[in-house]
Structure 1
Amino acid sequence: MPTSIVTTDDLMEFKLELLEEIQKLLEKKSGNISEKWLKSTEVMKMLKISAGTLYGFRTKGILPYSKIGGLIYYDLAIIKKTLTDNLIQNE
């Protein structure tokens, strides 16, 4: 069986490849969650509204939310449904 010498450069290259693969897996796995649940900042950006307006939507029950610790999450499907349900069509 032939022997090969592993250099520090080889180990560094392996480390970078391994980290890249782990990052891809994490992005793929967390991508499913972020497609369904949005943070407040994402909702404000998406709807082009202020933090105060979003707070008003929460307190008036317009947009339901989930709170974990100090973070608030909104269901993307509910946001889309709320927009559709409140669609105003000019006659």
Structure 2
Amino acid sequence: MQVNILTKEDLNQFKTELIAEIKLLLSSGDHAVSNKPRWLRSSEVRKLMSISPGTLQNLRINGVLPYRKVGGIMFYAMEDIQKMMEGGKYNG
């Protein structure tokens, strides 16, 4: 089991990036934030794509769909899902 340790610098960098992204969203002229979530959990991806847990696992293992694991929960970027669906395979 791999353990990653977060430092204060990591948290400060995350905070800076988060604030910059929020400012960008608010200054974009369209003040309504999209209802579409940016990150989806495995269950949401399976429901969206109508696939089984095994199929989603195969997409992860084969590198077709990138994911991030946070505290044992896998998250998928909506952008990656859309790219994969449009192109047949994610090439990011």
Query: Do Structure 1 and Structure 2 share a fold, with TM-score over 0.5?
Result: yes
What residue in structure 1 maps to residue 43 of structure 2?
A: 41
The two structures have a TM-score, normalised by structure 2, of 0.56
Please give the root-mean-square deviation of Cα atoms over the aligned residues, in Å: 1.9
Structure whose CA Rg is larger: 1
Percent of pairs with identical residues = 39
Q: Count the aligned residue pairs.
A: 56
- Which residue number corresponds to residue 16 of structure 2? none
Q: Quote how far apart the aligned CAs of 1:86 are.
A: 1.4
Q: Which runs of 5+ in 1 are unaligned?
A: 1-30
Alignment partner, residue 78 of structure 1: 80
Q: Which has the higher helix share?
A: 1
Runs of 4+ in structure 1 off by over 2 angstroms are none
Scaled by the length of structure 1, the TM-score of the pair is 0.57
Unaligned runs of 5+ in 2: 1-32
Partner of 2:63: 61
Equivalent AA in structure 1 for residue 51 of structure 2: I
CA distance in 1, matches of 2:88, 2:47: 19
